[in-house]
Amino acid sequence: MPKMKSTIISVIRLEPAKPQEGDWICTAHGRAACTRDLVAVAELQTKDAVQTYRVCEPWLSENGDAAAYLAEHGYDNRP
């Protein structure tokens, strides 16, 4: 997976995981490509703003930046 162009600020675990419905979709993959439950909300600093992303478990484990962030900071680490 290519390196992200944004920086992860925080990852907040959703307890329990939430199914995708309405506006709550997997931001990383989109509903058409992902039917998994949402397990976390990640805040990412882009060039211009802080963006909130709803993500599934594979995004957290397969995205190198996310996996490294969780290994260092864990969940529920809001500033």
- DSSP structure string for 24-50: B--TTT-TTT--SPEEEEEEEE-SSSE
d(CA 61, CA 47) in angstroms, rounded, equals 24
Q: Is the pLDDT of residue 12 over 80?
A: yes
Q: Per residue in 25-78, pLDDT tens?
A: 998 888 888 899 999 999 999 889 999 999 999 999 888 999 999 999 988 776
- What phi and psi, each to the nearest 5 degrees, are found at residue 33? -100, -10
pLDDT value at position 40? 95
Burial pattern 10-22, b for ≥16 Cβ within 10 A else e, equals bbeeeeeeeebee
**Residues paired with 24 in a beta bridge:** 21
Q: Is the pLDDT of residue 24 over 70?
A: yes
Residues ≥6 apart with Cβ < 8 Å to 78: 10, 12, 43
